[in-house]
């Protein structure tokens, strides 16, 4: 058990260091902070709302992550395959699942750092009023799991191809489906030709519907299980793809 954790920690450290030794990490952090700031304070009319809450901040996260998370995660396995180092990595004294977990956790930690750097938004809400900090905490927690779900899907698509652009496009398409699955225009269109059971099943895959509870300050076990299931299934599929290679 200790050796397995050590292997995962070693892979995660190697991967995390590789982010910050290149300008990619800093470019992503700047873009993420500027984009969330613009969408919150300008497009989200933060000050015009007249309420001390971060609803305008969290509402944009499913869409911001749709592009930025695949952009960060598309290189996880595609770069290893392109450079020819995948075989070398998997012949080291580690198992495939240790390598998968190590890489995933490193990238997820990087996204957590980016999310943590948005703390001035929460401070601003507290300075201007008396927000529900419990709801803010729940929103941040839900946002972290949302990013983890997108990242796990990107990890899976990255393992499928050595082309990072293809991995990026595939992950964006899959994540977009998970966003649109619960949208009213989509479900209203499906009602015309699909059974109510099928419509409800498709809507249950909506990340927005499961993220809304966190935005309201409700940490529902069902929502946690949903995000953990998406992460678990995607990482399992990544292992299947890597073994088939």
pLDDT digits (tens, 9 = 90+) for 200-233: 777 778 888 889 889 888 888 999 999 999 999 9
pLDDT digits (tens, 9 = 90+) for 135-169: 899 999 999 999 999 999 999 998 888 888 898 99
Beta strands in 11-127 (DSSP E): none
For residue 1, give the 3-state DSSP assignment. coil
Q: Give, rounded to a whole angstrom, the gap between the first and last alpha carbons of the chain.
A: 27
Question: Residue 50 has what pLDDT?
Answer: 67
For residue 183, give the 3-state DSSP assignment. coil
Tell me the C-alpha distance between 117 and 129, whole Å: 21
Q: pLDDT tens digits, the chain, 245 residues: what are they?
A: 677 788 888 888 888 888 888 888 888 899 999 998 888 888 767 776 667 678 888 989 999 999 999 998 888 877 777 666 666 666 677 788 888 898 999 999 999 999 999 998 888 888 887 888 888 999 999 999 999 999 999 999 988 888 888 989 999 999 998 888 877 666 667 767 677 777 777 777 888 888 988 988 888 899 999 999 999 999 999 989 888 76
Question: Residue 138 has what pLDDT?
Answer: 92
Tell me the C-alpha distance between 67 and 27, whole Å: 14
* Domains identified in the chain, total number: 1
Question: Residue 116 has what pLDDT?
Answer: 94
Question: Residue 225 has what pLDDT?
Answer: 94
> Are the beta carbons of 102 and 9 closer than 8 angstroms?
yes
Enter the pTM of the model.
Answer: 0.89
User: What is the extent of the structural domain holding 166?
Assistant: 2-244
- Residue 94: DSSP 8-state: S
């Amino acid at each position: 058990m200790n050796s397995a954790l050590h292997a995962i920690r070693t892979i995660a450290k190697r991967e995390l260091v590789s982010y910050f030794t290149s300008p990619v990490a800093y470019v992503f952090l700047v873009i993420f902070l500027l984009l969330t700031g613009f969408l919150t304070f300008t497009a989200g009319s933060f000050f015009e709302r007249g309420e001390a809450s971060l609803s305008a901040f969290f509402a944009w996260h499913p869409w911001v992550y749709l592009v930025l998370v695949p952009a960060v995660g598309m290189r996880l396995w595609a770069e290893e395959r392109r450079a020819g180092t995948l075989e070398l990595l998997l012949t080291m004294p580690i198992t495939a699942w240790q390598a998968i977990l190590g890489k995933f956790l490193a990238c997820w930690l990087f996204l957590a750092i980016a999310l943590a750097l948005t703390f001035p938004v929460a401070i601003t809400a507290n300075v201007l009023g008396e927000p529900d900090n419990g709801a803010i905490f729940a929103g941040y927690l839900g946002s972290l799991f949302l990013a983890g779900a997108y990242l796990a899907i990107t990890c899976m698509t990255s393992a499928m191809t050595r082309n990072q652009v293809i991995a990026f496009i595939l992950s964006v398409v899959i994540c977009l489906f998970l966003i649109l699955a619960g949208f009213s225009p989509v479900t209203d269109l499906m009602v015309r030709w699909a059974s109510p059971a099928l419509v409800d099943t498709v809507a249950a895959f909506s990340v927005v519907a499961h993220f809304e509870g966190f935005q309201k300050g409700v940490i529902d076990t069902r929502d946690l299980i949903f995000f953990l299931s998406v992460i678990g299934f995607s990482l399992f599929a990544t292992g299947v793809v890597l073994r088939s290679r």
